[in-house]
RNA sequence: GGCCCCUUGGCGGAAUUGGUAGACGCUGCGGACUUAAAAUCCGUUUCCUUUAUCGGAGUGCCGGUUCGAGUCCGGCAGGGGCUACCA
């Protein structure tokens, strides 16, 4: 039927159609108030040098959505740009003497051409790089506006210092006490830093997770909820014995107040520092705590330690005197940096109390009596309060409410909401970032650069011959005059965290022509991003910062909504098997082969196959997208990366898999060529099974894409291809034409080049990427007859084929007469027959 | 330690949301075509029993609800993720 020797050459047809798309600006997006818009976006890539498989998977996913939405009639915006500031460019400069700008723009050129070779339907007219002054001048303007809205402030504070990157990191960029990129243990330093007041929006950022982000993965919503870390509690004021000042503490368990046996101060607490002056033991303990830092892995194992200050606080109810200790497990930057400790109800407090022989007062008894006696385990469950004066007999929540009421009446405390979220420190001591538009004047202090003097551009003549920030070493750049008083002044040499660049870029895509303002009117039309796709590693950092920025820009009147991304999808990683030679060295996939069930290297030495893990340079298990495109074509690569796993899961790349995809593209080409050969205009045969299958396919693929279930869409396509090959001879010429036309539009989101090529072969004018999704005839989606399985006592025994609207009584009768049922019943009387129309029959004996 | 998710053939995964478990693909095996190979095509691939039928078991394990459970409920085990002294 189809001739086995017909082949198509991806190397010929793919560049041909890529050129046509570019020529005709097929994907250029223009606002059109009469059409519904759809903003599809992949997370902004860092121009590291070349595309990797993770990019290819990401962009293919978004591209399939974008192409599908276009054919569904949406006005689609699908842009691309570059997160172009960042440390690797400086490292390249340091190591190889290339200027960061040169290195970056060269990488961008390369990666742009690679993305084009994948056939991603980008509107390239909107492209930008965040390292270009045309981009960062707007960011500087936004900085000044945020500053005047009090959403940015300057503060001397303890910061996370990465000794390898020689820069400060935000809390979100410290993982397990180590720098997120360098992996170096983070040190504590006190520095003057600029901060975004992200905490101004704590409640809004939290409540919108519930109210507005219903199209976000539950996992990401949970992570952000935890990160914001809202807790309801109380702030209590303790009088101090023999002093006029008071001690404020935060607790979520005011009901445990009668179990208080000591107070705990953080080593950074002002009261602790004051005591230290006259108390060498306290002073040396504080020093010890500071030396440890917040970061050391040792903290995990670190014992609860402390020292008695000799001061005493007065219990607000009983008047008892409670000793005040400095303890190493209390954080300065959560709550007030001080606590009252109830050892019976908190494991940390209990460990501490046991170590220093402090009393333990049981205050909560569980239903089985647990909690009334405390040994080595604190009782944290609910129950009835005991030994607690007027709280006795109340539950935890009743006790909290009653105690807060009491505190408020006596003026000794009040209910308070606390968040774990901290403000976002944005200063970085690096060259390759957006300059902070501030001038430091000895007389006027920190003075904003006036808007008409923007941008503050980076100097190009910088040296990378010594570590640290080249801006500090530049002979002239930092010297300027104060915009206010005109005296000699110094520029801020810190630059902005690169996460600032990516916190509003999705808005800038909407306004490619605005040169004076960050945004023009187009943003109102395009926002929000309808479908955002990227890796889950940005669940807290980038996605939280962007949500903050959006709120700031709303406050400034740039946008109307709080949330930037209506729909979010987080894709899984691309993985590959690992290979190891006998000496333990890693081998790349192209350096090994399988011979009769065993693996060997190209010289025939044994190779052991290791676990399948994320593609990485160190394990050498990566596969280059460009090599794949060269060998099999972009369409085959796209097809494979969509076909195998659901996109939210990790995707195992294999040579056999991509070869299978390549075979499919060839088979598809052969089948469609064969169909086209016999196609002629005439009357369509509505009853043909292949035509019905085609209608069903368009319907199923549409549903699958909207569900982000590309693997299902592809399985359905295979089913149809199998059917069409079987039915080939039965399809009349007019029906062939109809099927091919529909089929090409339906698969075009996945294999766009091949679809265009065959579209042209069919004799259609224009591009398939511009064609409308096929209208579906609902009548063709249902079969006239259905096959019903028949169960006896829940076990399948036979089946019958009946007209789809057959009467229930009649179905029962037919079912009872089937051979399988009669054999199983063996004369027994059914007690009940359940007929679910169109589904199943179950006979109960 | 806390919170969350996952577990279906040799493998990736389907299953109309409580209704024929294993679609579709990959791999393997058998065969056709070919001098041969490549390519292509056909068959087969959950397990047990059987020559084949007929049958039995089966979605990590134990139990429950239901005419009917991969799907719902309770418990357990294994794997993964996030977070971590947050009072």
Measure, in angstroms, how far nucleotide B9 C1' is from residue A700 CA.
26
pLDDT computed for residue A298 by the predictor: 45
Measure, in angstroms, how far nucleotide B66 C1' is from residue A214 CA.
33
What lies within 8 Å, CB to CB, of A66 at 6+ separation is A27, A38, A40, A76, A78, A121
Q: What is the mean pLDDT of chain A?
A: 90
Tell me how far the alpha carbon of residue A416 is from its chain's centroid.
Answer: 31
Residues A510, A162: Cα–Cα separation, whole Å: 36
> Does the bond joining A112 to the residue before it have cis omega, within 30 degrees of 0?
no
> Residue at minimal CA–C1' distance from B41?
A4
pLDDT computed for residue A512 by the predictor: 80
Quick one: pLDDT band at residue A818, thresholds 50, 70, 90? confident
Measure, in angstroms, how far nucleotide B26 C1' is from residue A82 CA.
36
Give the tens place of pLDDT for each residue, A458-502.
999 988 877 778 898 899 999 999 999 999 999 999 999 999 999
ipTM over 0.90: yes
Find the nucleotide nearest A652 (Cα to C1′): B12
pLDDT computed for residue A365 by the predictor: 87
Measure, in angstroms, how far nucleotide B37 C1' is from residue A591 CA.
25
pLDDT computed for residue A297 by the predictor: 41
Give the tens place of pLDDT for each residue, A520-576.
889 999 999 999 999 888 888 899 999 999 999 999 999 999 999 999 999 998 998
Q: Pick the range with the lowest mean pLDDT from A62-71, A366-375, A443-452.
A: A366-375
pLDDT computed for residue A272 by the predictor: 93
Query: In which residue are the tokens 């005040």 written?
Result: A324
pLDDT computed for residue A690 by the predictor: 93
For residue A377, with 0-12 CB atoms within 10 Å meaning exposed, 13-18 middle and 19 or more buried, which class applies? exposed
Q: How far is CA A561 from CA A151, A229, A521, A603, in A?
A: 18, 24, 14, 62
Give the tens place of pLDDT for each residue, A730-741.
899 999 999 999
DSSP 8-state class, residue A185: B
**Residue A662: pLDDT above 70?**
yes
Q: How far is CA A784 from CA A398, A695, A787, in A?
A: 64, 15, 10
Find the nucleotide nearest A229 (Cα to C1′): B86
A645: number of CA atoms within 13 Å, CB side?
Answer: 14
Give the tens place of pLDDT for each residue, A105-149.
999 999 999 999 999 999 999 999 999 999 999 999 999 999 999
Choose from A92-96, A170-174, A358-362, A819-823 the range with maximum mean pLDDT.
A358-362
**Residue A158: pLDDT above 90?**
no
pLDDT computed for residue A596 by the predictor: 64
Quick one: pLDDT band at residue A294, thresholds 50, 70, 90? very low
**Residue A39: pLDDT above 70?**
yes
Find the nucleotide nearest A717 (Cα to C1′): B24
Which percentage of chain A shows pLDDT scores above 70? 97
pLDDT computed for residue A598 by the predictor: 72
Choose from A107-116, A346-355, A398-407 the range with maximum mean pLDDT.
A107-116
pLDDT computed for residue A680 by the predictor: 85
Buried b (16+ CB within 10 A) or exposed e, A299-318: eeeeebbbbbbebbbbebbe
Query: In which residue are the tokens 């003026």 written?
Result: A411
pLDDT computed for residue A176 by the predictor: 67
pLDDT computed for residue A400 by the predictor: 92
Q: Which two tokens stand for residue A742?
A: 């529909």
Of residues A805 and A98, the one with the higher pLDDT is: A98
**Residue A261: pLDDT above 50?**
yes
Mean pLDDT of A79-89: 94
**Residue A295: pLDDT above 60?**
no
pLDDT computed for residue A720 by the predictor: 95
> Residue at minimal CA–C1' distance from B26?
A657
pLDDT computed for residue A4 by the predictor: 58
Measure, in angstroms, how far nucleotide B62 C1' is from residue A367 CA.
28
**Residue A299: pLDDT above 60?**
no
pLDDT computed for residue A817 by the predictor: 87
pLDDT computed for residue A3 by the predictor: 59
Buried b (16+ CB within 10 A) or exposed e, A30-65: eeeeeeebbbbbbbbbbbeeebbbbbbbbbbbbbbb
pLDDT computed for residue A206 by the predictor: 93
A810: number of CA atoms within 13 Å, CB side?
Answer: 8
Find the nucleotide nearest A650 (Cα to C1′): B12
pLDDT computed for residue A1 by the predictor: 41
Give the tens place of pLDDT for each residue, A644-658.
889 999 899 988 899
**Residue A361: pLDDT above 80?**
yes
Quick one: pLDDT band at residue A509, thresholds 50, 70, 90? very high
Mean pLDDT of A369-375: 80
Measure, in angstroms, how far nucleotide B31 C1' is from residue A798 CA.
32
> Residue at minimal CA–C1' distance from B2?
A226
Measure, in angstroms, how far nucleotide B31 C1' is from residue A721 CA.
24
State which nucleotides on strand B lie below 7 Å from a protein beta carbon. 2-5, 11-16, 19-21, 23-27, 39-42, 54-57, 67-69, 81-87
Query: In which residue are the tokens 């050459």 written?
Result: A9
CB A361 within 8 A of CB A299: no
Measure, in angstroms, how far nucleotide B57 C1' is from residue A692 CA.
38
A431: number of CA atoms within 13 Å, CB side?
Answer: 28
Q: Pick the range with the lowest mean pLDDT from A228-237, A369-378, A719-728.
A: A369-378
Mean pLDDT of A28-43: 96
Mean pLDDT of A344-351: 90
Helices (H) and strands (E) in chain A, counts: 26, 35
Residues A565, A410: Cα–Cα separation, whole Å: 47
Percentages (nearest 5) of helix, strand, coil residues in chain A = 40, 20, 40
């Amino acid at each position: 039927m189809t001739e086995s020797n017909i082949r198509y050459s991806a190397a010929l047809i793919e560049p041909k159609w890529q050129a046509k798309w570019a020529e005709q600006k097929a994907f250029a997006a223009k606002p059109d108030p009469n059409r519904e818009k759809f903003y599809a976006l992949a997370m902004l890539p860092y121009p590291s040098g070349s595309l990797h498989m993770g990019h290819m998977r990401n962009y293919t996913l978004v591209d399939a959505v974008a192409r599908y939405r276009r054919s569904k009639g949406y006005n689609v915006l699908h842009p691309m740009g570059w997160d172009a500031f960042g440390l690797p460019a400086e490292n390249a400069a340091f190591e190889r003497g290339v200027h960061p700008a040169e290195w970056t723009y060269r990488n961008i050129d390369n990666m742009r051409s690679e993305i084009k070779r994948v056939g991603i339907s980008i509107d390239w007219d909107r492209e930008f790089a965040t390292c270009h002054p045309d981009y960062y001048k707007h960011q500087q303007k936004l900085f000044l506006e945020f500053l005047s809205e009090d959403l940015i402030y300057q503060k001397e504070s303890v910061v996370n210092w990465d000794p390898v990157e020689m820069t400060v990191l935000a809390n979100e960029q410290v993982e397990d006490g180590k720098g997120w990129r360098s992996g170096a243990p983070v040190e504590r330093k006190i520095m003057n830093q600029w901060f975004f007041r992200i905490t101004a929006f704590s409640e809004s950022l939290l409540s919108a997770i519930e109210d507005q982000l219903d199209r976000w993965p539950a996992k990401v919503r949970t992570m952000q909820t935890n990160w914001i870390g809202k807790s309801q509690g109380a702030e209590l004021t303790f009088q101090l014995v023999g002093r006029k000042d008071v001690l404020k503490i935060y607790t979520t368990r005011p009901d445990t107040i009668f179990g208080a046996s000591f107070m705990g101060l953080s080593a950074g607490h002002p009261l602790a520092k004051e005591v230290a002056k006259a108390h060498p033991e306290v002073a040396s303990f504080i020093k010890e705590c500071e030396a440890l830092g917040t970061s050391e892995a040792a903290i995990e194992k670190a014992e609860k330690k402390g020292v008695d200050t000799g001061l005493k606080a007065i219990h607000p109810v009983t008047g008892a005197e409670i000793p005040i200790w400095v303890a190493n497990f209390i954080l300065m930057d959560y709550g007030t940096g001080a606590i009252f400790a109830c050892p019976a109800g908190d494991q940390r407090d209990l460990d501490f109390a046991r170590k220093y022989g402090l009393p333990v007062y049981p205050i909560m008894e569980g239903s089985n009596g647990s909690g009334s006696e405390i040994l080595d385990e604190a009782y944290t469950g609910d129950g009835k309060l005991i030994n607690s004066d007027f709280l006795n007999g109340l539950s935890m929540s009743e006790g909290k409410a009653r105690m807060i009421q009491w505190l408020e009446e006596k003026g000794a405390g009040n209910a308070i909401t606390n968040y774990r979220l901290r403000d976002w420190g944005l200063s970085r001591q690096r060259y390759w970032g957006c300059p902070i538009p501030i001038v430091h004047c000895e007389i006027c202090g920190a003075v904003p650069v006036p808007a008409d003097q923007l941008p503050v551009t980076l100097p190009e003549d910088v040296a990378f011959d010594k570590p640290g920030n080249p801006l500090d070493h530049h002979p002239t750049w930092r010297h300027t005059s104060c915009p206010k008083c005109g005296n000699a002044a110094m520029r801020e040499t810190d630059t902005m965290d690169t996460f600032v660049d990516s916190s509003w870029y999705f808005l800038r895509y909407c306004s490619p022509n605005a040169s004076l303002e960050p945004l023009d009117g187009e943003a109102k039309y395009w926002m929000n991003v309808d479908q955002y796709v990227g890796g889950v590693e940005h669940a807290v950092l980038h996605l939280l910062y962007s949500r903050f920025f959006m709120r700031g820009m709303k406050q400034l009147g740039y946008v109307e909504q709080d949330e930037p991304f209506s729909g979010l999808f987080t894709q899984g990683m691309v993985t590959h098997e690992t290979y190891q030679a006998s000496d333990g060295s890693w081998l790349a996939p192209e350096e090994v082969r399988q011979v009769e069930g065993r693996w060997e290297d190209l010289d025939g030495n044994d190779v052991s196959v290791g676990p399948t893990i994320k593609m990485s340079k160190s394990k050498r298990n990566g596969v280059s997208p460009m090599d794949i495109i060269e060998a099999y074509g972009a369409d085959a690569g796209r097809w494979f990366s969509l076909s195998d796993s659901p996109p939210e899961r990790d995707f195992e790349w294999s040579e056999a898999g991509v070869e299978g995809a390549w075979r499919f593209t060839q088979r598809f080409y052969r089948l469609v060529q064969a169909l086209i050969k016999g196609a002629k205009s005439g009357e369509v045969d509505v009853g043909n099974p292949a035509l019905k299958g085609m209608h069903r396919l368009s319907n199923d693929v549409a549903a699958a894409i909207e569900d982000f279930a590309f693997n299902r869409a592809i399985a359905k396509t295979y089913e149809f291809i199998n059917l069409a090959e079987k039915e080939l001879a039965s399809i009349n010429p007019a029906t062939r034409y109809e099927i091919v036309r529909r089929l090409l539009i339906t698969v075009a989101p996945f294999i766009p080049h091949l679809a265009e090529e065959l579209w042209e072969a069919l004799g259609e004018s224009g591009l398939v990427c511009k064609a409308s999704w096929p209208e579906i005839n609902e009548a063709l989606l249902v079969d006239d007859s259905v096959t019903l399985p028949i169960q006896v006592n829940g076990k399948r025994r036979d089946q019958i084929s009946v007209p789809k609207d057959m009467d229930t009584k009649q179905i029962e009768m037919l079912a009872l007469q089937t051979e399988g049922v009669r054999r199983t019943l063996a004369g027994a009387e059914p007690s009940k027959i359940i007929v679910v129309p169109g589904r199943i029959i179950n006979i109960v004996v």
